[in-house]
Amino acid sequence: MGVELQPSELKLTQLNVSLPTWIVQDLEQMSKTTQSPLDELIKTSLMMFIATHNDYLGKNKNNQ
């Protein structure tokens, strides 16, 4: 990431979402196959989404 995060931004925060069953099943299978924690897979997926769609933030967060 091009911008340094503050310690308060690195703190884990709970988020409750509802997803289609197929997504949950696929993520659970990926977790089993890779032996990676489900939280880690979801965090990685969301970080990749944000990195490639940061225009949704209304700015390019990497170029602040």
Residues of the chain under the 50 pLDDT cut: 1
Tokens at 35, concatenated: 């032996």
Q: What is the per-residue pLDDT for 2?
A: 66
Residue 7 lies in a domain: no
DSSP 40-64: HHHHHHHHHHHHH-GGGGTS-GGG-
Q: What is the pLDDT of residues 42-60, one digit of tens each?
A: 999 999 999 899 889 887 6
Residue 25 lies in a domain: no
Q: How many residues does this entry show for the chain?
A: 64
**62 near 55, Cβ under 8 Å?**
no
Q: What is the dihedral of CA 9, 13, 46, 24, to 10 degrees?
A: 170
Q: What is the per-residue pLDDT for 22?
A: 98
Residue 26 lies in a domain: no
Give the range of the structural domain holding residue 64, as residue numbers without chain letter. Answer: 35-64
What is the pTM for the complete model shown? 0.77
Residue 51 lies in a domain: yes
Q: What is the per-residue pLDDT for 11?
A: 93
Tally of domains within the chain: 1
